[in-house]
Structure 1
Amino acid sequence: VIVQFGGQTALNLAADLEERGVKILGTSLENMDRAEDRDKFEQTLMQLEIPQPKGKTATSVSEAVEIANGIGYLVLVRPSYVLGG
């Protein structure tokens, strides 16, 4: 099964499919997790010495506004652990 073309629902089902013996083609579950998890992705970029824009994680609107004020505008806001949506 290739889950990368099925949107977020397919990506969310990938671990259960693999546990049931379905062969997942393409990107491994480990690397999908590394791309979706903001902290793991940031660590990977740092290890590979790939520059990235400043960023932080917020769990509320007020926290997001505070972070944006500190980083400076324009900002990109996106949910955590979402790759296919």
Structure 2
Amino acid sequence: MWTDKHHPHVTGDSMLGIIFGGPKDEDCIFTNIYGLHDPFLKSAMKMGGWYKTGDIVLKGSDWIVSEMKESGLRGRGGVGLPSGIK
């Protein structure tokens, strides 16, 4: 295991004083991360969520499955099958 003094990319005290923090609130993709609003669908819709869902559903299940397959997204099951296969 590397220590600060032996790591090949760190020289001496070069990392001292550097602060690494979390994302800023404006960079957050979740609109209710702090739980300030109720977790129900109507509240999400008031905050701007779900506004494209109707358009997606109207494209049909074949289009949705095709998009899932093309995305390369893999399942989290033991086999890790590509999404859209099951």
**Shorter-chain TM-score category?**
under 0.3
Whose radius of gyration is greater, 1 or 2? 2
Q: TM-score, normalization: structure 1?
A: 0.27
The higher-RCO structure (CA 8 Å, 6+ apart) is 1
Name the structure where helix makes up a greater proportion of residues: 1
